[in-house]
């Protein structure tokens, strides 16, 4: 070996030792670092081995302060909408506590309400029947009520609008004869009673026949009424009457519900002395009163002078018939009652000039009693009409006389009976022929100005309707002795005379004029 080779070997050995020392120092520095991971060796990401250094989240708190300002604005809007949907599910648990059905409807109250609702339903007033039952607290869970409501729905669904509104007939009566022997006793008034009156037995027979034929009593306000147009003007139109198939609406009225003196006693009340019933009366009721049951009834003086109370005229008789046959009346309708003023109304001596004879206190009592009866009648479905003040002939009189008479009714009768828009012409004497009314007719202008919108006359045809722009006019058929005796064929659509005619009537029945 040469000397040079020895030197090289020595240098290489020194270099090797230095290299080793350098490597050893590097290794020490590397492994002693606090955040050493295998990633530092492999160069690949690996988090699983961080478990070796769990105690070193020291640097982590540093990013926390950084993220804190960020989440703060975010939660502000978010938590707000969240609590809102939460209160929504709360109402559910509220109805859940179902102690409400527990307050069961008291049986007596339930029974009374159902009876009343059934009565309304029988008169085709299903909406009112429903409202009545649904006013009871707890109706939703009562099986009887829910069953009833289903029945009403089914029955109402079977109703149809009456298709022939313009053909609805209208019949009328005067005071009914309660005692045939007294009415047909041969005195001077007998002839007139035989012509223009109907006996109680005839009236009851007519009701039975009409009912069996499917007739249903309606109010003129069901037949036609005034509507306000978009431009503010008014016009009349037919109403809608909902009835089962096979039913036929009709109207009824009674004229002169005044119980005039000549019918009930020996004097008339034409002058300043009011008439009173006495035993010489002709067999008619003399007054309508309200009975203890709240229903109208009649006072009647018997030949021995005693006064009895009961069904002595149309009002209580029709009421009783409808109570027995509630489907005979559409939605509570009753007849139209028409009044003059010259002897007072309803049998009460309310003509103002009677005050002198009666004294202020007694007169005020008459007025108060009559007003109470009229108000009760209205509440129970009866319609009130004017029959003029003095029973004058509106067709023959001049416009000024007609206007003066209508004004007198308004001044002396309306305060007792209340306002009405129905006028029933005395003697059936219309202010115009068959042509429609216009305001060029001074009588119509005056009557319209007084508030009248419904005008009824007498007409023997089955129906006469005049549906004007601003009024409704109709004919009425007298079902009295005159019509039955002289024109039985005119009543064929209603009944055969032999099924109604009272054998107590004297014959022949006189002719008019």
Q: Residues in the site for Zn ion, rule: CB under 5 A?
A: 255-256, 426
Closest C-alpha to 298, from 282, 267, 319: 319
Is residue 327 within 8 A of residue 246, CB to CB? The reply is no
Tokens coding 189? 């008034």
Q: Which is nearer to Zn ion, 199 or 258 (CB)?
A: 258
Q: Which is nearer to Zn ion, 197 or 374 (CB)?
A: 197
Helix spans in 381-432 (H): 399-412, 414-417
Shortest reach from residue 340's CB to Zn ion, in Å:
7
Shortest reach from residue 395's CB to Zn ion, in Å:
14
Task: Classify residue 296 by burial, with Cβ atoms within 10 Å: 0-12, 13-18, 19+.
Answer: buried
For residue 120, the SS3 value is: helix
Shortest reach from residue 338's CB to Zn ion, in Å:
7
Side-chain-facing half-sphere of 512: CA atoms under 13 Å: 10
Shortest reach from residue 324's CB to Zn ion, in Å:
29
Q: Which is nearer to Zn ion, 255 or 421 (CB)?
A: 255
Q: Which is nearer to Zn ion, 456 or 501 (CB)?
A: 456
Q: Is the dihedral of CA 463, 499, 253, 510 positive or negative?
A: positive
Shortest reach from residue 367's CB to Zn ion, in Å:
22
Shortest reach from residue 195's CB to Zn ion, in Å:
13
Q: Could you tell me the CA-to-CA distances from 435 to 394, 424, 430, 438 in Å, in that order?
A: 16, 18, 11, 9
Q: Which is nearer to Zn ion, 311 or 480 (CB)?
A: 480
Shortest reach from residue 206's CB to Zn ion, in Å:
19
Q: Which is nearer to Zn ion, 309 or 429 (CB)?
A: 429
Q: Which is nearer to Zn ion, 220 or 426 (CB)?
A: 426
Shortest reach from residue 174's CB to Zn ion, in Å:
7
Tokens 């030792």, residue?
17
Cβ density class 96-119: b for 16+ within 10 Å, e for less = eeeeeeeeebeeeebeebbeebbb
Q: Which is nearer to Zn ion, 269 or 426 (CB)?
A: 426
Using a CB cutoff of 8 Å and minimum separation of 24, what contacts does 287-290 make? 287/259, 287/346, 287/347, 287/348, 288/257, 288/313, 288/315, 288/346, 288/347, 288/373, 288/377, 289/369, 289/373, 290/372, 290/373, 290/376
Distance CA 188, CA 268 (A): 14
């Amino acid at each position: 070996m040469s000397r040079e080779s020895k030197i090289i070997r020595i240098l290489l050995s020194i270099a090797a030792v230095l290299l080793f020392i350098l490597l050893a120092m590097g290794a020490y520095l590397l492994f002693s670092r606090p955040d050493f991971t295998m990633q530092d060796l492999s160069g690949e990401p690996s988090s699983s081995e961080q478990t070796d250094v769990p105690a070193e989240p020291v640097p982590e708190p540093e990013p926390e302060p950084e993220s804190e300002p960020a989440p703060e604005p975010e939660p502000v809007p978010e938590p707000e909408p969240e609590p809102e949907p939460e209160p929504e599910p709360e109402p559910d648990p509220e109805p859940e506590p179902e102690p409400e059905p527990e307050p069961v409807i008291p049986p007596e109250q339930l029974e009374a309400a159902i009876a009343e609702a059934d009565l309304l339903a029988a008169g085709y007033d299903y909406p009112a029947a429903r409202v009545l039952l649904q006013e009871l607290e707890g109706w939703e869970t009562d099986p009887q009520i829910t069953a009833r409501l289903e029945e009403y729905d089914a029955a109402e669904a079977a109703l149809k609008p009456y298709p022939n509104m313009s053909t609805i007939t209208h019949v009328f009566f005067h005071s009914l004869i309660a005692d045939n022997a007294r009415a047909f006793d041969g005195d001077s008034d007998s002839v007139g009673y035989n012509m223009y009156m109907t006996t109680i037995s005839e009236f009851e027979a007519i009701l039975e026949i009409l009912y069996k034929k499917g007739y249903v009593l309606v109010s003129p306000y069901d037949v036609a009424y005034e509507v306000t147009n978009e431009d503010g003007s008014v016009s009349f139109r037919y109403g809608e009457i909902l009835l089962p198939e096979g039913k036929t609406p009709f109207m009824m009225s009674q004229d002169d519900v005044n119980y005039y003196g000549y019918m009930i006693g020996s004097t008339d009340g034409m002058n300043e002395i009011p008439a009173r019933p006495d035993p010489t009366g002709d067999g008619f009721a003399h007054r309508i009163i309200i009975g203890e049951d709240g229903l109208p009834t009649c006072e009647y003086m018997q030949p021995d002078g005693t006064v009895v109370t009961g069904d002595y005229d149309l009002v209580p008789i029709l009421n009783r018939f409808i109570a027995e046959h509630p489907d005979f009346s559409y939605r509570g309708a009753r007849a139209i009652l028409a009044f003059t003023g010259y002897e007072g109304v309803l049998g009460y001596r309310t003509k103002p000039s009677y005050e002198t004879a009666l004294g202020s206190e007694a007169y005020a009592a008459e007025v108060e009693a009559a007003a109470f009866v009229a108000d009760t009648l209205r509440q129970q479905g009866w319609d009130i009409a004017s029959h003029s003040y003095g029973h004058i002939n509106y067709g023959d009189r001049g416009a000024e006389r007609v206007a003066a008479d209508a004004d007198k009714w308004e001044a002396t009768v309306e305060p007792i009976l209340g306002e009405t828009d129905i006028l029933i012409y005395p003697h059936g004497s219309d202010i115009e022929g068959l042509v429609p009314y216009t305001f060029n007719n001074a009588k119509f202008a005056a009557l319209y100005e007084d508030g009248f919108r419904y005008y009824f006359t007498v007409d023997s045809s089955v129906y006469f309707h005049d549906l004007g722009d601003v009024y409704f006019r109709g004919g009425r058929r007298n079902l009295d002795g005159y019509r039955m005796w002289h024109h039985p064929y005119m009543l064929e659509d209603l009944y055969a005379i032999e099924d109604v005619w009272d054998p107590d009537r004297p014959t022949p029945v006189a002719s008019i004029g």
